[in-house]
Each structure stands twice: as C-alpha cells, then as structure tokens.
Chain A
Amino acid sequence: MKKSNDHGKPETGHESTNGSGQKYGMVIDLDKCTGCGTCMVACAAENNVSVRADQSDKERVITWMRLYKISNGKKFPHTEVSYFPRPCMHCDHHPPCVSVCVATATKLDFNTGIVSQIYTRCIGCRYCQAACPYGARYFNWWDSFPQDKGMDRYLTPEVSPRMRGVVEKCTFCHHRLMRAKNQAYAEDRRELEEGEYITACTEACPAQAITFGDLNKPDHKVSQLIKHPYAFRLLDRLGTEPKVYYLSSRDWVRKLADNFLPGEYEPVVNRTWAEDEWSTKPGRDEF
C-alpha cells in the first residue's frame, strides 16, 4: 500500500495497519492469568506512571494495564472469579480515540500497529477518553511526582513523565521497541527476532499468560494463538479490530467479553474437567 503523507498514512483512507510492516499484538491467556496484578505493577514501574496516596478512585487512578475482576455469579460454593487484564487494545480499524482527537496527539502507526499518544501535543480535552470503548485512556488530574519524597529517583528516562492536564495510555511499551531496535542496529541488523521486543507486562507475567509478537508474521506465537478455538476479543463486534486477544476455556468468561443477547452466545466448551470427573458420583451409601 502506498503511503503518501508525512504521517505515514495510506492513501486509501482505510485506517488500519498495512500488511508490509509490523502489526504488534498481544494474546492474554485467562486460564493462566492468576490475577496477581504483577502486570499492572510492572507497567506502572516501566512507564513512570504516577501514584497518589489514594488509589481507590478508579475513575481517576492511572492504570495503563488494568485488571478487571469478573465472577460467574453462581452461588457458593460454585462461585468462580476471573480477571481481565486490559491494556490499550491498539485497535487496528479506525481506533475510536484517534478519529476524535482534535490535536492530532494520537495516531495509529501503520508500520507497527501501535496507537501513539504524544503528551506534549495533547490539549487535555478528554474526547478520546470518552470515545474509547475499553476505558483504556486516563487523564492526569494532578502533577504526581513529588520530588521531595525521593520517589522521582526510580523514574526511567525512556518514558517522559507526564504533566497535569494530558491524557495517557498504554503504548505497548513503545520505548522497548526503540530499545530493541538500537540493540539490533548495534549488532548490524534491521530485523528484530521474535521476543526481542516485548512489553513490560509480557515479560513480568509470572504465569507467562501474556504473549506478544507480530501478528503479520505467521510464525510468531501470537499469530498461531489467535487461531486457537478459545481465542476472542473484547467487544469484538464493534469492529474496532483490537490487537489484544484473549484465550479462555471458560464459557462464562468468554461470554462476558461482549454484550450478547439471550441465546446469542454459542459455548465453545460444554463441560469442564471437574464436571467430567464428577459426573459419575458414587453414592454415599457405598461408605
């Protein structure tokens, strides 16, 4: 696809990643996810995300990667809890946040598939925040790095700390792509190997639930995993083409990923291991 303007946008106006570049995507296996929250902490530490004394106001606390808790709602002792780790979906088709940005502070990069966010360009109108169906965007209500506490000492120079009044969100740890490229250049290469560029959450997940890679490369693990029968996306039917996929063998989890009408959802797995195992219950009389 020919690119014409200086923002690398293809001429056709079809706003989505082209086939020639990279298309970075993520697969999160919810069966493996333990809900520990390491991804959230790794993300915050990696990206200089601000911390305030009160982190319980979930509408204002900044969590690029956020864990949502869901439950099957069944009565005790059949209750199950599961978690949706939710980074920015990096929508591949007309990202809703991009089209509404009046300041061109956020763009979909067609060569990486990453939706960018430039803080110094953001005017803080929060239109993108309203437009994002995934709640992935956060507004800086405060300047949040008190320098007299010494907490600015762990800030990394790879990610610019944000000021009050701008919106921020997950960048797929874009600086890690830059880091990996620099490393490759130092070794006289242009191409990155699979796994050379992964996000902080991917690296941190102690259960290896997160897989990251190039969806344009069929041999990358992500490309294979998204073909898995358990694979699904959040609010898939909006047509935003998220590049973050989920895997779950639990139907109740999969069902909560979208707004289904009664009877509309088709289960993938009918019986769990325990149901199979427990199906031939011997009577208590035996003992």
Chain B
Amino acid sequence: MTMKITRRNFIAAVVGGVVGIQVTPLPWKFTDDAAIWTQNWPWVPVPAEGAVTEENTVCNLCPGGCGISVRKVAERAVKIEGRTDYPVNPGGICPVGMGGLQLLYDDDMRFPGPMKRAGARGQGQFVNITWGEAYDILAGRIAKLRKDGTPEALAAIDGNYAGTTTGLLVERFMRSVGSPNYVKPNAITDTYHMGNLLMMGKSVPMAYDLENSDFILSFGCGLLEGWGAPGRVMNAWGMWHDANPKNRKTRVVQVESRASNTASKADFWVAPRPGTDGALALGIAHVLIKKGRVDERFINGFTYGFDDLTSSEGQSQPGFKTIVSNKYSPVQVERITGVDAGTIVALANAFSKAKAPVAVYGKGKNNLNGSLYEFMAVQSLNAVKGRINRPGGVLVPDPLPLAPLPEFDPDEVAAKGLETPRIDGAGTKAYPFTDSLINHFADAINQGARSPVDTLLVFSANPFFTVPDGPGFMNALEKIPFIVSFSPYRDETANMADLILPDHTYLEKIEDIVWPVGLQYPLYGLTKPVVEPVNDTQHAGDVIISLSKAVGEATGSAFPWENFEEALQARAKGLFDAGGGLVHYDASKPPWKFKPFGNGQKPSYKSFDDMWGEMKSGGMWFQPVKLAGMDGLFATSSGKFEFVSQKLRQTINETAAQTSQKAALDQMGIRVAGAEAFMGHYAAPKLGVDRSKYPLFMVPYEMINLSSGWIATPPFLYKTIFASQLLKEESFAAVNPETAAKYKLQQGDRAIVKSPVGELRVRIDLFEGAMPEMVYMPLGFGHTAYDEYQKDKGVNPNNIVKALNDPVSGYPLWWNTPVTLTKA
C-alpha cells in the first residue's frame, strides 16, 4: 500500500480529524471556555474580599455634623451609611454625605501630596515637592514678611466652620504672626449669632426645637434643601408626615418665592417676593397684636421695646407694637410681599392656634448668610407669641463649655501688625458687629494698584466659586503675589495657588464639629480617621502647629501643643469640667425629649481620659435638652429680650455723636429712622440699577443633591439631577411660563441672563413653581476645576450676582440681582 498523500487522502484525514475532534473535549471545552472568557474581561474590576468592619465617625462635609458609619472591606472603605447611634440624625444622612467615598478615592479630584505650581495660574499644573520643601518655602515667606515689618500682608481665608479647633488655630496663627486679616466665608450662622447678640445679648447658636413643635413657619429655611443637619431635619420631616393621620400633629408652612422641595412638600406654601420675608413676619405679628393673641406674660415680663419707649432725654419713641401696627398691616404687607392679605391673616391664625409654633429663619442651606433685619423680624414674631425659651420654640442654651485656648502675647512685630485695620472693613463703624466680610475682601484688593495682601492662605474654602461676583474674586486672586492652598482637592481657588499643602479629607482625620447648625441641645462632634490617608497629605491643624514653629520662636510659643490632637484635648477639658455630658446615645431616649427631664442619664466616664477615649470612638459629647431659667437668660443691657436692640442703638448713637444720626445710619446702610432702625424691619433695598433696563431678578437657589460650597458634588449625585436642571454641559434657569412667554422662550430654549456684572448662557426650564418675573438658577454648577465629573457642567450664578450690602452686617444680599433675559 503506497502512502502517497493525494488530495483524496488528505480529505480522508481531515474528515477523520473532524470526526475525531468531536469525541474529544476540545470543541466543547473551548466553546465553554470562550464563553467564560467573555464573562471575565480583565478591565472589569473584581473587588477584593476581606473582613468587613464598620467604623463610626461623623460627617464633616457641612456644619450639620451627622453621624456616619463607614463600611470597610479589609482596608478599603466601600460604603457610607447613617448612624442610628448618633443623636443628631437617627439613621439618615443627605445624598452628599452618602456619596462621600467618591471624594476620598477620586484621584483626579485630589492632590497626591505637597506641590508647587508649574504652569500658569488657574491651569492646575503642579509638580510634586516634599513636605520639607513646602514648609521651607512658606515659613521663609512668612518670616520675611515679619522681618520686613509687614505681617499684615499675610491673609487667610478659612472655611473651617466657626468655633472649630482648626479654625481657632488658623486664627491664632494669624494673630501670632501679626495679621488681622483672617477672613471666613459667610454662613447662615453669622446672621444667627449677630441677631442673637443684638436681641438676646449673647452670640449663641440658634437652637430651634423643631421636634417638639407642632407648627413650623419657615421663612426661607431650606428644611429639605440641606439646612441645619440634613439627617436631623429630614428625619423630623418623616416624623411629622406619619402615615397615620392621628400622628400628624405638626404642620409645616414654607415661606419662599420658589416652589422648592420644602415649599412643595410643606402643608402650605406662601410665596412672597424675595427679600421681603421680614415684612411678612411683621405682618403676621401685626395680626396677632391686633387680635390680642400675643403672649402678654412673656412680653411684659421678659422683653424690652414692645411698647413705646422713653429715651434718656425723656422723649417718647414708638416701640415695636406701634411701628408694627402702623406700618405692617396685612394690606400694607401685601403691597410689599405680594402675599394676599387674607393669607397673612390665615397664617397668623394658624400660628396663634398652634400649641407650640415656631418661626424659623434661613436662606437655603447653611452656606449662605441671611439678612440681619429679616432674621430679627422673624425672631420678633417668635417673641410676640412668647416662643423664646419654650419647648417647641426657640431655645436659648449656653454655648458649649469648651475650654478657651490659653492667651498669648503677640510679640512686637505682631502687635504692630495687629493694629493695622482689616482690609475687608469688618468690625469698623460701618459693620461694627461683623467678624469678617469676604465679599469686601476682594474689593479691597482690586481697588489699589498693588495688592495689600502678599501671601494668602486658603483653608477648606473655594471663594472663587462660592462668593458672589466670582470674576471679581478671580481678579483679586490674580493680583495676590503668592497663594497657598491647604485644600486636598483641585478646586478653583487651589488651581490659582502657588503652593499646595494638602490637608487630609474628612475620612482621614480627626476634626471637631461645634454645635451642628440649628440643633436645640449642645453637641460637640468628633470625626476620626477611618482609613489610612490615601495620599501624602497632612492634617492642616498639625501643619499650622509645625509651621508656627518653623516661622520663629515668637509664633511657635503661641502653640504649646505637640500636635493637633493635643489642642483638641485642651479644649475638650472644658467639657469634662462642665460635667454631665453624655458620650453615648441611647436611641430610646432622644436628647430633644423634655420628659422625663434630662432623661435621667448619667455620664459613663470617670476621668477626662475615659471621656476623651469614648469621645474619640463614639464621636460625640452632648447634653440632653433643658430649658434655661428665665432669670439672667438674656445678657442685654435691659436683661430682657429686646425687640428694639439697645446695643444697636447705642452703637449707632456713638457713631452719630461724631457725625450725625443720618450719616451714621447711611454708613451702615440703614434706610429707616427712629426706633425702627434698631428692630427687625423691612426697607426696600436701593438697587442702584435702572430697572427698566433690567426688568427681572435673578435668584440663585440651593439644592440638597448638589453641593454648592467648597466640597465638590460626588459624581453619584449627578444621577439625581434632572435633565431639566442639567443637560450635557448646560444648566437651566427656571422661569415661570408666563414670564418666558413674554420673552418668547420655550422649554429648553437657550437664553442669556445678563446682570450689570456679567452674563451667563443657560437653557430655560418652564416651571410653574417659579415666581413670575424671576429667573432661578441653581448654585453648584459651573465648576472649572476638580475633575471631569464637575468641570464645565452648567454655569455658576455667583458669577453674575450683583450683591448689595446687608444693612448693619455688610453681608452680601445675593437674592436681588436685576437681570435681563434674552433668547440666545
């Protein structure tokens, strides 16, 4: 048999092969494996397994301070959840807090370590340096300013919340160097503190006893937009709206010009023109007074200025009652606010009928300041009904008993520097009660040819994005020779910096939360590091302590602590000394329940070290709510709650003594005279703009699912943004269909919103819930920094806000920007 391989033989062999291969595993196994291969692409991540742990800490993304628990798999954090064993928020947190891990792990958003600018300012190009180099550069620069005798040319913008230890250390550092220019971004708490100082004589936090109230009349407070501690307020909201109608004892009325979530979800929505909330509050007070439904016991016993006053010269001056009776009748208020007089009467009836009503003041979330007189008007309404220091009303607790940091003596250079006036004008005769005015900070720099600030330190703040008139702030930043950012994030302001000393993020460090906004009982929260620092970062508090020592002996001696935690402990000793504070929360005994009084709970610790250890692991120190005694409650000169603030009157009179009453009032921006200037009132703002050219108003608004402050919006949250708020790179302005029709604008049309300051291109969302003649734009879009999730998404209304100065406080009034709307 010859074995010549013919074509035929070859085919026979192939057929044999094909038949044979069928009875081998090859085709079947290969098919199966190929299918499995497609199920396991190497680029689809396989998350590593490991032991699961839950680390309790506190959220520090806003001044709400909700308790959070971080779920970890081995060393990785994989989920953030609300804590049920934390008194502020029984289990819930807001969407920003929920998405917090994206702020930790997103490499594109964060600085890998200390860096030095490489490209042009604003481009965000940096090169790595070591911490040693970073300290040398900065300490050298500050030492030189001191050597040159110009320590005041160092300025700091510090976004750490008021009263926090890091904030105090930064402020202390500035003082030890010798600069008064320590500036904080505005917050609603500024208005609360100032209002409380003027009416109650003490600069204490607002303590709204929401949980015990049965009628909440909210003046612009974004209860569902992230005001206060969102986990607390939304939990209360759920409580108020129980499925069982019998348990629905609390009614919520929202006063706001736009149908926000709070307005829509409230039991009733009242829509006055923006900036007229104070008039509405006084209108309601007017009805109560006229109907005799005031709390006479409280008014007679514990207030000053309700009835007419006799001045020291014996002249009779009208008091709160007379002024409100004359100027704020429902009909008059209707003219100011646009709210129907009948509704004002009905609101007064409802407020008066309720057992425990409270009038709450706010402006969106916590980030933006309010107006002082507006707040005072709302507080007056509470006082008329005797809702001060009553369950379900406004409580007047003492400040947290934190030990003050020890005093130190600034050296000669510093003392001289501290005598120079603040460049933002805060604390001057125009703004006597104001600590800092970030809105004037940029103006001061832009005015002169040369920047009075040589070196700017920025902590936890992004003023370029968050302050009204962003372009103005940008100009100022460009003029400042040297900017140092301590931000862990590549935010807009950090991109302008020359030197980056990145802080840890909130999940990587210990930090304190001093009294969450609006809480009715004292609470001191502590975050803790739940993961090892992801990047080469250092705690800003530690950096400040080290820096003070690097700058020189004089500055270093003001910081007798080895590290940040020692400084924290030094303050916390005061909490221990005060006694009675709790460091564990029993969910069956909410601290806001008055009965049984104080819940009969005893502290679980014996020594300070015990307490500190438990605070570090539990993240809390608090005292259950209690009513203060009326004696000595108010620290005003009358010892009473002052409808007409004597402190304000005295300050104005002092200024007037040097010039004239009118000049004094003008300087402070007050547009009324007499006793009305010292109490909550409404006066139409002087816009200084030809309204015929700018017939509409632009009102920025805040959303709970869009971060509008320094913290960026975690990418997950963009899932919750509607396509009528952001579509690809364009954000929307909400306009009433009637108004839009006037300008021939339809849903989705592109339009230009133009103010005297600038213009923005938006798309139009026809929204029935928008007040006619208003253009509503969300705050939080329009980033030009961070990463691809944030960048170039929509526009930032701050860029075209033409802010007026709030009388007395000087804070920006950001809801009065006149604009035009044209089809693009």
Contacts and interface: CB of A to CB of B under 8 A. Distances in A.
Partners in one complex: yes
A48 interface: yes
Interface stretch (B45-53, B396-404, B536-544, B630-638): B45-53
Nearest to B340: A284
Nearest to B260: A81
B94 A38 contact: yes
Interface in A143-197: 143, 145, 147-157, 161-163
Tier of interface size on chain B: 35 or more
A161 B47 contact: yes
Interface string A109-138: 000000000001000000000000000000
Nearest to A68: B722
Given A29-B241, A155-B47, A208-B238, A149 B286 contact: no
Interface in A211-244: 225, 228, 230
Given A51-B716, A76-B772, A287-B290, A82 B238 contact: no
B572 interface: no
A2 interface: no
A207 B238 contact: yes
Contacts of A49: 716, 719
A44 B716 contact: yes
B99 A282 contact: no
Nearest to A221: B243
B721 A56 contact: yes
A284 B716 contact: no
A181 B41 CA distance: 31
A144 to B, nearest CB: 9
A54 B721 CA distance: 11
A208 B264 contact: no
B224 to A, nearest CB: 4
Interface stretch (A9-17, A257-265, A271-279): A271-279
Interface string B36-47: 000101011111
A209 interface: yes
Interface string B214-255: 000000000010000011001101110101010000010000
Given A149-B106, A155-B78, A228-B243, A273 B43 contact: no
**Main SS at interface, chain B:** mixed
A92 interface: no
B741 interface: no
Interface residues of A, number: 80
B95 A145 contact: no
B235 A207 contact: yes
A100 interface: no
Contact of A207 (B92, B346, B714): B92
Contacts of A155: 45, 47, 78
Contacts of B44: 143, 145, 161-163
A31 B245 CA distance: 11
A34 B720 CA distance: 13
Contact of A156 (B47, B238, B787): B47
Contact of A151 (B77, B106, B268, B704): B106
Given A145-B44, A287-B329, A76 B770 contact: yes
B102 interface: yes
B267 A204 contact: no
A226 to B, nearest CB: 11
Contacts of A286: 345
Contact of A34 (B237, B728, B736): B237
B717 A281 contact: no
B705 interface: yes
B243 A41 contact: no
A217 B445 CA distance: 69
Interface string B1-33: 000000000000000000000000000000000
B98 A71 contact: no
A256 interface: no
Given A56-B726, A76-B736, A77-B771, A284 B91 contact: no
B261 interface: yes
B267 A34 contact: no
Interface in B323-346: 329-331, 334, 341-343, 345-346
A45 interface: yes
Contacts of A81: 259, 261, 264-265, 769
B86 to A, nearest CB: 13
B704 to A, nearest CB: 5
B258 to A, nearest CB: 9
Interface in A53-85: 53-58, 61-63, 67, 69, 71, 73-77, 79-82
A147 B45 contact: yes
Given A40-B719, A45-B98, A247-B243, A53 B789 contact: yes
A96 interface: no
A203 interface: yes
Interface in B54-99: 71, 73, 76-82, 89, 91-95, 98-99
A148 B101 CA distance: 16
B271 interface: yes
B408 interface: no
B715 interface: yes
B115 to A, nearest CB: 17
B291 to A, nearest CB: 9
A276 B787 CA distance: 51
A54 B331 contact: no
Contact of A76 (B41, B723, B771): B771
Contacts of B270: 77
Contacts of A56: 718, 721, 723, 726-728
28 contacts: A29-B243, A32-B237, A35-B261, A35-B265, A40-B719, A40-B720, A45-B80, A45-B99, A48-B47, A49-B719, A57-B723, A76-B768, A77-B270, A82-B265, A143-B41, A147-B45, A149-B787, A151-B106, A156-B79, A163-B39, A163-B44, A203-B81, A206-B93, A207-B237, A247-B243, A277-B350, A287-B286, A287-B345
Given A156-B73, A208-B235, 12 more contacts: A29-B243, A32-B243, A34-B234, A37-B704, A44-B716, A58-B723, A79-B259, A79-B264, A200-B79, A278-B268, A287-B331, A287-B345
Closest 4 CB pairs of A and B: A206-B92, A37-B720, A207-B238, A55-B718
